[in-house]
Amino acid sequence: MSSAKRFGARYGRKTRQVFARHEMSSRAKHKCPVCNKVNVKRLAMGIWQCRSVSCGAKIAGRAYSVA
């Protein structure tokens, strides 16, 4: 079962599958476009921050992925 199960029968099957994939992607670590380390976590919808101590860049990305 995917994490989109809570939406029940709404939105349709395809939509929920796409959302589940995006949600997983938004929780995973992403590559920083500034220092190239895979250490970027999402702060909020569309806002990402590099957790690297020497970088710490805040990136305005897309809702579910950095770029």
Q: Does 32 contact Zn ion by CB under 5 A?
A: yes
Of 4, 42, 48, 50, the residue at the interface with Zn ion (CB under 5 A) is 50
Q: Scan for tokens 């770029």, then name that residue.
A: 67
Of 21, 25, 55, 64, the residue at the interface with Zn ion (CB under 5 A) is 55
Q: Which is nearer to Zn ion, 4 or 50 (CB)?
A: 50
Q: Are 33 and 65 spatial neighbours (Cβ–Cβ below 8 Å)?
A: no
- For binding to Zn ion (CB under 5 A), which residues are involved? 32, 34-35, 50, 52, 55, 57
